[in-house]
Structure 1
C-alpha cells in the first residue's frame, strides 16, 4: 500500500510517507492487536514507527520491540526522552544522567542495541542545552543512536540548538515532531519556515486533531463518545478542539470527502501528505479497522482545487510581524 519514501531533513534516512504512532499501544490497544497493526503496517510497506519512553509507562516501547525483533533491519524506530518516568529528581529532563539512563532503558524495552531517531520530547528550562546536545552527540558516537531530533520546540529553541551544534561540531537535529493538522497550524507562524530554511524534516503528530477531523463529531456540544469525550486535558481537550473555527474546517473536509468518495480521515491525512515541508505524518490506530481506514490515505492525491480549499479554510489569520514583513518583501 505504501510505495513512497522520503528522506528526513538533510539526512539520507529514508522513511515511509506515513509513520505509525504507538501512544495507545498497551493501553487503549491491547498488545496482541498492537502487534497485528505493526505487522500489517510493515506488510503494507511502512518502515517508520514512533514511540516514547513515557508512553504507557514504557509498555509501548516493549510492544514495538517484541513486534520488530525478527525484522529490526527493516524498521526505522523513533523514540523520545524527557518526560517524568519516576519519583526520583533525575527521572525527568535532559541532564546527562537522565538521557544516559533513558537510552539504556529504551534499548532494553525495544530489544535492540540502537535507536534510529532519538528525540527531545519538549524543551527543558533547567538543563543547559549545551549539556543535552553534547550527551546526544556522545550517543551517536557510541552507536546507540543514529540520528537526533526534537519535538514541541519553539522556533528560537530549535534555532539555538542548531546553532550550538554547528559551533561545537555536534550532530544536528534532522527533524522536529510538532502538533500539526488542518485544525492545528500554529507552527506555520515561524517553525515551518525555519524548517524549510535549515533543512529540517517535519513529522507531525496529531494529524487528525485528536479525532476531530475524523468527522464523527457533529456539533459543538461536549461529545459522549470518542477520544474527545474522555476528559483529556491540554492539547487533546474538548475546550481546545471543539471551537467554531474548527468545525468550519471539519465541514469543508466532510464536503470534499463526500465529493470524492473518501472518508474525512483520509482527506485530512492526504492534505498533510501533500503539504510542502511535511516529511511523514504520525498517525495512530486503536484498532486494526482504524488502521485500515487510515492507511488508505496514501496512493492518491487531492486535486489542486480541493487542496487549496482546505489550505485556505484552515489558514491562520495574518498577524504582526508577518503581515508587516510580507508588506515590504523585496522581489526581483
Structure 2
C-alpha cells in the first residue's frame, strides 16, 4: 500500500514513489505512456516528475493530456535550463529563459500552475539573485507553487538558500539528486543538508540506468541497453567497479530471491532522508517491478550485504575513524 509523505516543508503530501516521465514520447509511445500513467494512479501514486527537455516538450504534452481530468489530485513537476531551440537565450537560468520556459511548459501541460519547478542544472554564468528573482515572480503569480533544484552540489543549494533569505525570495523547497546503490555520493553532503534545512528529496535513477536490473550481470560486452548504447550513461556507469557491482548485486538478489529492480527501489525508499525515489520505465511490466518495492521489508543482514558490494562513502571531513 502506497503511503504519503510531506514534501519538505511545503505542506503538500506526495506518494512515497514518484513516477518520472522521461520515457514519454521516447522509449515509450503514447499508448504505453498512458498505460503506465494509469498503472501508477491505480497503485496510489499522485506524484509525477517531468522536464521541458524530455523529447523537446513531448513528455509534458503527454502528461498534460493524461492529468487533464484530475489535475487537482496530482502533484506535477517540470524543469527549466536545457536548450529548447537554437536561439542564444533559449537555455540557462537567465530570467528571460526561465520566464519563457515556464510559460511554454504550462501550455504543454495544459495547466495554470506546476507544483514544483526545478532548476535542472546550476548555471555559473548567471547571478543567483537574477535566477531567484525570476522564479519569485512566477511564484507570486501563482504559476509555480514551490522551487526545486536538480543536479546541484550542496554548497550551491546553500548559496541559493542564503540569497533567497536575504532578499525574501521564495526559497528552495526540494532537491533532486542522483542516488542509487551504485551512486551514493548524495549521502556525503546533500542528504544531511536536506535534513538540516527541511528540504524534500526526490532522487532519480534508482536502477542506475539499468545497471541494477540484472541486465548487465554477465558484463557489458554482450549486453544491450542504455549503459552500452548511450554515451552519457556509459560514461556515468562505465568501468570495472560498476560491472562488479552489477554482477555481485544480481548474485545477492538471486540468493535472497528478490527481483533486482524491486530491491534497488526499496533500498532508496528506505533512506530516512528520501521523500520519494523517482521510478521510470519504458514498459508497464518493468514499472510493476518497481511498484512492488512498497511491500518489501529490508532486513539488516541484507542492508549489510549491499554495503559490502557498494560501500557507503566516507563523511565530508573524510575522518571516518571518528564516526
Give the TM-score band, short-chain normalised: over 0.9
8 Å Cα contact 1:253/1:268 also seen in 2: no
| Aligned equivalent of 2:80 | 81
8 Å Cα contact 1:253/1:267 also seen in 2: no
Matches of 1:96 and 1:214 in 2, distance apart?
A: 40
Matches of 1:143 and 1:130 in 2, distance apart?
A: 20
Matches of 2:155 and 2:112 in 1, distance apart?
A: 33
| Aligned equivalent of 1:48 | 47
| Aligned equivalent of 2:127 | 128
8 Å Cα contact 2:266/2:294 also seen in 1: yes
| Aligned equivalent of 2:231 | 233
Matches of 1:7 and 1:97 in 2, distance apart?
A: 32
Question: Per-residue CA shift, 1:240-294, capped at 9, x if unaligned?
Answer: 3143322443344323422443211101111111012111111111011111122
| Aligned equivalent of 2:206 | 207
Matches of 1:311 and 1:12 in 2, distance apart?
A: 34
8 Å Cα contact 1:266/1:293 also seen in 2: yes
Give the CA deviation at 1:211.
0.2
8 Å Cα contact 1:26/1:59 also seen in 2: yes
SS in 2 for 1:64: helix
Question: Per-residue CA shift, 1:133-190, capped at 9, x if unaligned?
Answer: 1111111111111111000001111000011111111111111111110111122222
SS in 2 for 1:148: strand
Give the CA deviation at 1:208.
0.6
Matches of 1:3 and 1:207 in 2, distance apart?
A: 18
Instruction: Give the direction of change, closer, same or farther, for the CA distance of 1:15–1:312 in structure 2 (3 Å limit).
Output: farther
Q: Which runs of 5+ in 2 are unaligned?
A: none
The TM-score with structure 1 as length reference comes to: 0.92
Is 1:323 paired with 2:318? Answer: yes
8 Å Cα contact 1:23/1:284 also seen in 2: yes
The TM-score with structure 2 as length reference comes to: 0.95
8 Å Cα contact 1:179/1:205 also seen in 2: yes
SS in 2 for 1:298: helix
8 Å Cα contact 1:223/1:229 also seen in 2: no
Is 1:283 paired with 2:279? Answer: yes
Question: Per-residue CA shift, 1:94-143, capped at 9, x if unaligned?
Answer: 11111111111000000110000100000011111111111111111111
Matches of 1:123 and 1:240 in 2, distance apart?
A: 19
Matches of 1:112 and 1:322 in 2, distance apart?
A: 45
Matches of 1:269 and 1:227 in 2, distance apart?
A: 19
SS in 1 for 2:296: coil
Matched length: 323
| Aligned equivalent of 1:308 | 304
| Aligned equivalent of 1:268 | 264
